[in-house]
Structures are given as structure tokens and as C-alpha cells.
Structure 1
Amino acid sequence: MCGIVGYVGRRDATPILIQGLKRLEYRGYDSFGLATVGSALEVYKRTGSISDGEAGAAHLMGSTGIGHTRWAGYGEPTVINAHPQIDCEGKIAIVHNGTIENYNELRQHLEDRGHTFRSETDTEAIVHLIEEYYDGDLLSAVNATLPHLQGSYAFLVIMEDTERIIAARNASPIVLGVGDAEFFAASDLMPLLDYTERVIYLEDGDVADITPDRLDIYHGGQRVERPIELVDWCVEDTRKGGFDHYMLKEIFEQPQSFYETIRAGIDEGVRRMLMDADEITLVACGTSYHTTLIFKYLAESLCNIPVRAEMGSEFKYFTTPLNCLVIAVSQSGETTDTIAALNVAKARNCPTLAITNVQGSTLTRVADRTIFMRAGPEVSVAATKSYMAQLAALMQIINLRCEGVFDDVLSHAHLAIGDILLHDLGDAVTLCSGADHAFFMGRGPFYPVAMEGALKMKEISYVHAEGYAAGELKHGPFALLTPETPVVAICPPGPIYNVMVSNVKEVKARKAPVIALGVDGDKELAEIADIFIPIPDTHLLVQVLTASLVLQLLAYHTACALERDIDRPRNLAKSVTVE
């Protein structure tokens, strides 16, 4: 969940580290810190945002350094718990993303050996272990430390009087940027885009010894070569471009992200894999899980193929019987639970397919084959354009299984998405921003659309919201309906329309205000609802997209009205790389 960054070269490290941490701040923003090697090992840490505290790091000198932006796991978000963590003598510093599961055992052992712990973090155990094993060579000390660590880690270590970074990873990502007589290290690509397009992805078990003039990567004690890959993302894609928030910018980029993903198509190897499947299981978390539920409803009804959608966080521990194609969906390709689920599928000899936005991510290296979303960098914590690009990839699979019958629908869907962007949602925003609770309801594929709408509302506006299959409201949630509890109902035409209208009337009978989404010109629904939001009268697949976009905009503008920190909602992080 945290973000780490490192630099070794000929330039002043501090501004590079600060800029890199800003690029990674969506991974955690409870606290941040830096360490550089100048005349001595210098460390600066503080709580709060990087922009508010970066001036205090100006005194750090040196051309070798590491940095960290934290999502608090072990220990509260305090200065003492912020990274870097240092050894007893203040000579070794470490930044770490991951979870050391045997931390308590290690801490007890190290304290018995005379080490003094200052923080509550599991990371501090790593740096004290390195100190314990240090005998003149930092790489050897790190290698001696690794067998004692249980859990996940991606860490960078520096030491006074050395222009050197040691990097190690296991079940958490590290990508290296290759410059001219300089190297960069980070949790993902975002901090590297300002400086290089050449990157190296470390594998689980890799240890990298990095100096300005040399990079050596080891695996199992043996030197290995990892390929240099070229990044096709542009640094301009990571900027707001005149929008007030990254989230709004990314919402407006959705027509393009959908169109580009559709245009990219499906390669022949993936095509054969999909056509050979008699059954499909999908694994994902959060917003990605909602896209797999939408796929389940659509694929089973349109393609007549059995589909299961499973939460990655549950799948590892409660695995269903598997003998089919398993598709893992993750924006970052680094979601720990989704990767673990895919590894379970691999262990059972299932064919595996990844759908992800990031070339070179762990998921792409675990899966047999990959469909890349064409969303580009997504900075806001709340997923929007990656959601739309995932639906584009999943709808392509449906179209493939249906022998291309939806070619025209999908090739023009981005136009309908674009038509929604300037909808006036003022009345609905006023209603939602004045509420403490809200319900979202739908049926069929619009049930997971409602779930996603509720997720967006609560994660960025902090209005408590829940998404339900409309028929389930009567099985308990009706008890919570009040005149101050808005209900958002998705009511497109089709087989669910009449029963959805009945559900809306039932809600109205309990005096709860209703915000209804229906096709333009639906006079019956407009008369029943307190607020009616029209969407284009198009194909079912497109209605899923346009309804989703309306709910994203509703959440965004509600959060604006409540003056929330939209791009960095409290307690959350973009990429969930711990269980």
C-alpha cells in the first residue's frame, strides 16, 4: 500500500525523491520521509502531506537517497513510525512496502540481542536484522536477513559513506528506472516517467545491488539478467491538465480509455483460450470485483456460458472447485489478494488470463496470457477510467463469444459515454450531500453497477452508502428508510423495468426520496421519482456504461459539495499490496 522511491547517481537526490513521492502519494499519505547519504546519513520525516512538509527536507544533501510515503499498517501515523527506519547507530536506513508477519518474534529476538526499537513498525525489525548481520558488506547483510522474513516486502536500503542502494522484493513490487550513470527505484512506474522510459521489473526473490555505474541483480545467490523494457506511458498523462481533481480528469478520459481498449482488440492466443473455455471463473477486489459481477450477468445471459465471480481476498482461503479458465482483473496488476488467487489457480493447472492496466506488473508475469487495458496512468485513489476500461475488455470477451454480434455497439459506445459527461446533477447532489446514508439499487447487471455507485459515494464523499439488488431491500434494509435517506434506482427498459418501477413505488411509500436513472423520455419514471436523471436509450451494454458514469459524477460532485479531499480519501490507498 505504501510507496517507496530511490535514487543513486550524480544529481542532488532530494528533489528527485520529493517529486517521486508526490507521484506515489496515492499509495498512502499518512506520513512521509527521506534519507540521503551526504557527509553522514541524514533523515527527515513528518506526518501529513508532502506538499505541506517538503520544505523541511531542503537541507538533505547527497546524490544517493531513498524515500517513503506511508499508509499506516503497523503503528499509528506518527513521525516516529514514518519511514525511513534506521538501525541503532543511525548508519543504515530502510524504506519498506509490505507486511512482515513474524515481526513480533523478530523484535523479541533482536531486543534480546541488545537492539533498541524506537517505533511500532514491522519495518524496523528488518533494519535491525541488517545491522545484526553487517560485517563490512551491505549486500551480504541483506542476503543474510532475507531468510528470516516471513510475509511480503519491497524495500530499499542505504548506508552512510556509500553510494549504493540494495533493493529486495517478495510479493510487493519494485521497478527500476535506467538512466545515464544513474538509476531510479520505485513501487511503480509513476515516479520514473519524469526521468526515463527504460525500466526493469524485479521478480519475487530478486535482490538488486545498485550504484551510479552498475546494476547487479541476484536471485538465489546467482547473478541474473532482467530485460530492459520501454514504457509507453507519457508524463503528461500524470498531470491534472486544468481539471480541479485527477478524478474529474480521469472521468472525462473514459470515452477514450473505453475506445482505445476496444480498438486494441484481443490477440490470437487469448482468443483461442477464451473460445476453448466451457466455464469461466473471475477473481478481483473492490471496483474490479464489481466489473466481474457485471460480466457474470451479461455473459451468462448473452453467451450462455457459466461464470463465477469471486473476491480475491476470500478465494485464497475458501477456494471453490476449479477446472476452468480463471481470469484475474486488477488495475495495477499488483493487488496482493488477486495475485494470490491466480497462484491458486495456477497450482491447480487452470489456464489463466490477466486483465490489467500495467505492463510488466506481477499479474502479467503470473498469468498465462494478458489483456491490457488502455486506460493510461490513473492517479486518483477512486477508480473510474480503469473501471470503464475493464468493462471494455470484458465486453470484448462477451462479443468474441457471441461471434462479433456487438461489434457496432462497442465501437460506438464511447460516443454515448461522452454524452453523459456534462449532465446537470445539481438537484441529486443537493439531496445526497445533505444525507448521512444512501441506498443504491438495481437488478441484473445494474445490481453491481449500483454496488459500484455506492462504493464511489462512500469512499470519496464519506456518505454511508450501500448497493443492493432491488428485491433485497424488503429483506431488512427497508427498516432504515427515512425521508432523509435517498435511494438511487437504476431503471432501464427491458425485462426488469416493471419490477423496478414497483420497487421504486415501494420505496416512495416509505417516504424515502428517490433519484431514478432511466432512458430519456421515460415519463412514467420521471413522474414517480423525486429526481429523474436521463441516460441514452441505447443497447444494454451501453446502458451499463452510461449508468455507471452518472453514478461516478454523482459521487464526485457530492464530494465536492462536502469539500472532501477527493483524490486522497481518508484511510485509503490506490494499490492494495498487503492482505
Structure 2
Amino acid sequence: MCGIVGAIAGRNVVPLLVEGLKRLEYRGYDSAGIAVVADGAVRRVRRTGRVSEMEAAADAEALQAPLGIGHTRWATHGGVTELNAHPHVSDGRLALVHNGIIENHEAQRERLSALGYVFESQTDTEVIAHLIHHHQGQGLDLLAALQAAAAELEGAYALAVIDRDEPQRMVVARMGCPLLVGRGDGENFVASDVSAILQATRRVIFLEEGDTAEIGRDAVRVFRADGVPVERPEHLSDVSLASLELGPYRHFMQKEIHEQPRALADTLEAIIDAAAFEPTLFGREAGAVLRGVKGVQILACGTSFYAGSVARYWIEAISGLPCSVEIASEYRYRTAVANPDHLIVTISQSGETLDTMEALKYARSLGHERTLSICNVPESAIPRASGLVFYTRAGAEIGVASTKAFTTQLVGLFALAVTLAKLNGRLDEAQEAAYIEDLRQLPGSVQHALNLEPQIAMWAEKFTPKHHALFLGRGVHYPIALEGALKLKEISYIHAEAYPAGELKHGPLALVDADMPVVVIAPKDGLLEKVKSNMQEVRARGGELFVFTDADSNFSASEGVHVIRTPRHVGVLSPIVHTIPVQLLAYHTALARGTDVDKPRNLAKSVTVE
């Protein structure tokens, strides 16, 4: 959520700032603004709503400058108003943008008010601008004032600051929120996400926790939290601009659903090429770390939590190790009992999810040294804080509702389950070969499921007028029911819940009537007959069933029972294939209801605040 972009160059940076903010729209926001230093003054344009509205205002003012910063804001402190929008300015001299939350802002506000500062917003961010200005008044230059202010802040932040009196540079700081520097030829950039600056450069430096930096046209200087200069390595981003374009699709979510065969094939490439599950999939030292693991604890949020919930079934069934899955935001605030022989697995699409990052820190403080991250973004914070890493190769995911990141996470988790089994002597060569063949066939099975889109779109018309929906699954497919319900509610705004099908009679059955569509994940596995029994309970109460099953299952449609068959049952990987239909159902229902599919209300792509 929220996004930062900044630039210093020998050319007009306003188009770069605007384009960068457009690239950050997927993160979720409700206002946007830019500030530049031009002709010895700070000029600022802010608007609530979309970046395009702010862009029109900047064009009307003919805004041009070689130094500027921009921001997309998702409201936390204070409502969605222009006064609360970033950038914030102090004394008409200093402009600042901020991602994150400052926990001691009230105390700092009282202190600064006593010093004569007048606040025009309700935000915690304006506190930072005035605090830096206050330190400048004590004789510090811009960089030193930022460093002094940062030392007084409690919470999480990524900051970019410009000053009309120091137009030759911008300064930045990072603590708990992502921030990177882009290197160009006679120009440099800052951003919270590499996508914001790909139009100008692929050369990036990822700032570490506590870093501050001074950025000029020709040089970048980075400092540790203690003020000591430090060299941070430069990376060449492999994110392509093509992956950030919509192409022939109506929405990024639709595009990303259809990219899953390729994303899965790319993620599987190392396993297929090696024709084996090797510990080195997770890092060079993985063999030593994973041998002797006595259990697995998975920490994640949202869709990633559901991926972990599927993995629990796989890990326990395949490797024979106990596995627990916990919501990261709950784990970090409870008294946990640590077992140093357990592997801590964190899952995050962005690698910047604050609750997951803090849960990892908490686990390490308890003595957990065996840590593994499953992530889609190289060099992001969570992988850097983990001992082992499995990078999914989903490519850039723009739609707020995660799709290809989820299915590629499942592949990484399946590989972990099988690798642990192999290390524990529970996997013979024949079974390993069978699993590799199953993975080899997976992208094709997913493509067959995508071919069901026209049928699923017809189902979506029946969901359009509904206000509630129920999803049912059993065993390893129960988390897929949870994921289906989440997708439906977050982009169509239909209230949806998911239950293990066996729990129907323990309460949810009271909700079932003709106005409550019931979606059932019913593959041809050992629980199919149990699921059929649960479906009969729904039909007996007048409920309408929408059943996703397999081509080789003995299932037929009838009055009140609609059936769509995915490809033949693909065994242990069935949850991945059955994810596709529930994604498509949510997408087409949202499309029919006319909601903003890629930017659902109140939600953000990367959750970097509590």
C-alpha cells in the first residue's frame, strides 16, 4: 500500500514521476501528489482519486523541474482529503513523502506544536516534515536533519525529502518499509517498487533497515543507521516492462490468471531440469539446514496463509513431519513455544508484508535459526532476513487479488514437502520420478482448466445479484474453498464464507436457502463420497449447488445442481488445478457487477503497515 517515486536529473522529471505513480497504482491508494523544486521554490500538486486527476492538475500548472518526489497514499491517519494527501510541506521549504506508520506521532505533534509549528493535516507524516525542518533550524543540513529526525521516530517508514535551498540533491531513509535507489546516467531515482522506475533504469540498489542516503545527479551515498558510510550492491532488475502492460486482456487479474501455465513452468524449471528434488532448490546451504528438521511452522497472511494451509496436508502426508500454519499477525503477538528443530517458513508475494516480516523477526528472537522464505520478489526484505529462499517465478503481479503468486507458492511448498521426505528417507526413486512427472504435466492441466472460462462466465451471471455465497471443500481442498471465498468477496463485494463440508451440520446449514449459492470443490479423491453426502444436505434445504469436479468423476448435473468438470484428477497436485475455476468465477462475477477488479476498494497489494 502507498507508493513513492522520486527523481533528480538534467531534464524535466515530472513525466517520470507521473508515469512512476501510474506504475504504482496497483498497490492501492486513494490520493496522489507530486512536489518539485523549480525556480527556487517548492511547487506541489495533490488530488484525491486517481493519478490521472493529479496528472491533469500538474499539466494545467505546466509543472516542470529537474528534482521532484511523488506519492500515492492509502489513508491511515486522517481521511481521504487533499490536505491529508502527500507530499507534505514544512515552511514552504521542505517537501516529504512517506510510506508506513509513525507510532509516536502524537507525542511529536505535541512537542512541535509547542515549538510553534501549525499542522494542516491529520497525518502522522506531516510530523516528520516539521521535525526535519526543526533540526534544520538547529543548524543541520538536509541529510543530517533527516538522520536526526529518523533517530526520534518510532514505527515504520520509507521517506524521500527535497528542499528548495538544496536543489542539488534529495535525501531518503528506510526503516521497515521498502525503498530502493535507481541508478542512471547523470540522473538517479528512488522508489518503493522497481516497477516505478523501469521506464528509466534497471540498475537498482536496495536500501537496508536503518539506511539513509543522499542522492544527486551523479552520485549516491548510503549511510547505516549509525551514520557510517556503507556500500550497498547494485542489482540489475529482471522485471520487464511488458509484464507491466495489460496487453489484450481487460484487466490485470484476467491477464495474470491466464499467465499461470507459464508462471508455473518457469517456477518448475529447476526441478524438471534436474529431474530430482534437491535441497539446493532452497539455497546452497539448504542440505545442512533441512536435515534434522523435526517439524515445520508456516507463517503467512491472506492468500499466502491459504497456500500454507494446503502445504500442511502435503508436508504431513509426504514427509511425515508435523506442520502448523499460523496467521503472522497473530503469531507475532502471542507467547509462542519455540522448538529450534522446527523450520520456520514465511510466505509473501511481495517479500515486504509487514506482519510476516515481524513474525519472522519474533521467531528468530525465540531462537529459531532454521528459516525459509517463499517469495516472488528477489532481494526483498523477507528473503534477505531468511536463511533459505525459494523464489517463485510468477513475474510481476499487478492485480491486488493474488492469482499466479498463489499457485506458484503452492509449487514451492510442494517441492519443500517432497525434499523433506527425501532427506528423511521417505521417498524412493519411483515416487520421486512420479512426482516430477506430475509437475511436468501441471502447466498443461492448468491450461485445460483455463479453457473452462466461457462456462464459468455463464455461472457468474447467476452470482451477480446475490449478496452471499458459501464455499465447501474437504481435506486438502478446503483451503482452496477458503481461497475461492476470499477472491469472490474481495473483488465482487459479495459476502462469501468457506467451511469444511463436514461442518455444514454444525451451524452453516442454517444459512442455506434458495438465495445462497453453494460452491463445492469436489475432485475425485478419497473424500468424494463424503462431499456428495454434504451436497445432499444442501439440496434438501433448497440450496443451489455449483460443483467443480473432475472429468473422470461420476457426477451429473440435475435441477439445482450445476457441474463443471476440470481435467482428469491430477492426484496430489489437484488443489493447484482447482484454484483456477474459483479465480475465474470471482473475476467474471466482479466483471458482471461492474466493480474495479484490479483495485478493489479499501485494499492494497503490498501491506506494509499494521
How far 1:528 sits from its partner (Å)? Answer: 7.2
Q: Does 1:561 align with 2:582?
A: no
How far 1:539 sits from its partner (Å)? Answer: 2.4
| Letter matched to residue 438 of structure 2 | V
Q: Is the 8 A contact 1:100 1:152 kept in 2?
A: yes
Counterpart among 469, 476, 487 of residue 507 in structure 2: 476
Structure 2 partner of 1:361: 380
Structure 2 partner of 1:23: 23
| Letter matched to residue 422 of structure 1 | N
Q: Is the 8 A contact 2:181 2:188 kept in 1?
A: yes
| Letter matched to residue 228 of structure 2 | Q
Structure 2 partner of 1:455: 486
Q: Superposition pairs for residues 95-244 of structure 1, below 5 Å?
A: 95-134=97-136, 135=139, 137-161=141-165, 162-219=167-224, 220-244=226-250
How far 1:503 sits from its partner (Å)? Answer: 0.6
Q: Does 1:66 align with 2:69?
A: yes
Q: What RMSD in Å do the two structures reach over aligned CA positions?
A: 1.4
SS, match of residue 557 in structure 2: helix
Q: Which is worse superposed, 306-315 or 427-436?
A: 427-436
Structure 2 partner of 1:309: 325
Q: Is the 8 A contact 1:518 1:525 kept in 2?
A: no
| Letter matched to residue 119 of structure 2 | F
How far 1:226 sits from its partner (Å)? Answer: 0.4
Q: Superposition pairs for residues 363-378 of structure 1, below 5 Å?
A: 363-378=382-397
Q: Is the 8 A contact 2:33 2:54 kept in 1?
A: no
| Letter matched to residue 15 of structure 2 | P
Q: Is the 8 A contact 2:489 2:496 kept in 1?
A: yes
Change beyond 3 A, Cα 1:192–1:551: same
Counterpart among 539, 551, 576 of residue 508 in structure 1: 539
Counterpart among 421, 433, 443 of residue 450 in structure 2: 421
Q: Does 1:270 align with 2:286?
A: yes
Q: Distance in 1 between matches of 2:141 and 2:243?
A: 41
Q: Is the 8 A contact 1:416 1:542 kept in 2?
A: no
Gaps of 5+ in 2: 272-280, 422-426
Structure 1 partner of 2:574: 543
Q: Is the 8 A contact 2:512 2:541 kept in 1?
A: yes
Q: Distance in 2 between matches of 1:91 and 1:156?
A: 14
Structure 2 partner of 1:248: 254
Q: Distance in 1 between matches of 2:292 and 2:71?
A: 45
Q: Distance in 2 between matches of 1:247 and 1:108?
A: 45
How far 1:576 sits from its partner (Å)? Answer: 0.2
Change beyond 3 A, Cα 1:400–1:528: farther
| Letter matched to residue 394 of structure 1 | L
Q: Distance in 2 between matches of 1:18 and 1:506?
A: 55
Structure 1 partner of 2:274: none
Q: Is the 8 A contact 2:311 2:414 kept in 1?
A: yes
| Letter matched to residue 254 of structure 2 | L
Q: Is the 8 A contact 1:274 1:397 kept in 2?
A: no
Q: Does 1:346 align with 2:364?
A: yes
Q: Distance in 2 between matches of 1:319 and 1:395?
A: 29
Change beyond 3 A, Cα 1:129–1:179: same
- Between the two proteins, the alignment pairs up a number of residues equal to 578
How far 1:521 sits from its partner (Å)? Answer: 4.5
Change beyond 3 A, Cα 1:320–1:526: farther
SS, match of residue 238 in structure 2: coil
Q: Is the 8 A contact 1:97 1:155 kept in 2?
A: yes
How far 1:300 sits from its partner (Å)? Answer: 1.2
Q: Percent identity?
A: 41
Change beyond 3 A, Cα 1:255–1:276: farther
| Letter matched to residue 69 of structure 1 | T
| Letter matched to residue 148 of structure 2 | A
Summarize deviations over 1:78-129 as a string: whole Å, max 9, x none: 1110000111x21101100000011111111111111000001000000010
Summarize deviations over 1:428-467 as a string: whole Å, max 9, x none: 2122112100010101111110000000000111111111
Structure 1 partner of 2:58: 57
SS, match of residue 239 in structure 2: coil
How far 1:136 sits from its partner (Å)? Answer: 5.3
What is the TM-score normalised by the length of structure 1? 0.98
How far 1:272 sits from its partner (Å)? Answer: 4.2
Q: Distance in 2 between matches of 1:569 and 1:366?
A: 31
Q: Distance in 1 between matches of 2:270 and 2:357?
A: 24
Q: Distance in 2 between matches of 1:67 and 1:238?
A: 19
Q: Distance in 1 between matches of 2:396 and 2:287?
A: 26
Q: Is the 8 A contact 2:372 2:390 kept in 1?
A: yes
Structure 2 partner of 1:92: 94
| Letter matched to residue 158 of structure 1 | I
Q: Is the 8 A contact 1:37 1:163 kept in 2?
A: no
Q: Is the 8 A contact 1:333 1:356 kept in 2?
A: yes
What is the TM-score normalised by the length of structure 2? 0.93
Summarize deviations over 1:259-315 as a string: whole Å, max 9, x none: 111113414433443343220001010100000000001221232211011111111
Structure 1 partner of 2:424: none
Structure 1 partner of 2:415: 396
| Letter matched to residue 79 of structure 2 | E
Counterpart among 386, 397, 416 of residue 405 in structure 2: 386
Summarize deviations over 1:515-546 as a string: whole Å, max 9, x none: 01111153435347621011112323332112
| Letter matched to residue 407 of structure 1 | I
| Letter matched to residue 29 of structure 1 | Y
Q: Distance in 1 between matches of 2:445 and 2:291?
A: 29
Summarize deviations over 1:119-147 as a string: whole Å, max 9, x none: 01000000010111113511111111112
